[in-house]
């Protein structure tokens, strides 16, 4: 379970959307998190790779590794 605090403006917007559509605020919060979670994870993975790069491949090595 997760509890989050939102500023009043965001919570009001979320409340209006939920009432207008018949969905719960939790539904929309969950959808928003799921929509952006992959992007956030990708960003942190990219930053980690920049800090600790793994083996770099030449184009020929990459083709050979991939069987191309």
d(CA 60, CA 68): 9
Q: What is the pLDDT at residue 1?
A: 85
- For the chain, the domain total comes to 1
Query: Residue 44's domain spans which residues?
Result: 8-66
Look at residue 34 and tell me if it is in a domain. yes
Q: What is the pLDDT at residue 54?
A: 83
Which pair of structure tokens corresponds to residue 44? 């942190």
Q: Which residue, among 55, 36, 56, 35, has the nearest Cα to 44 in the 3D structure? A: 36
Q: What is the pLDDT at residue 53?
A: 83
Could you give the 3-state DSSP secondary structure of residue 7?
coil
Look at residue 1 and tell me if it is in a domain. no
Look at residue 31 and tell me if it is in a domain. yes
List per-block mean pLDDT (blocks of 10 residues) for the chain, which spans 68 residues.
Answer: 93 97 96 94 93 88 93
């Amino acid at each position: 379970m997760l509890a989050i605090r939102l500023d009043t403006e965001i919570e009001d917007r979320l409340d209006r959307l939920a009432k207008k559509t018949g969905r719960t605020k939790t539904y929309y919060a969950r959808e928003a998190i799921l929509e952006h979670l992959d992007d956030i994870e990708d960003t942190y993975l990219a930053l980690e790779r920049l800090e600790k790069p793994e083996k770099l491949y030449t184009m020929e090595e990459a083709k050979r590794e991939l069987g191309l």
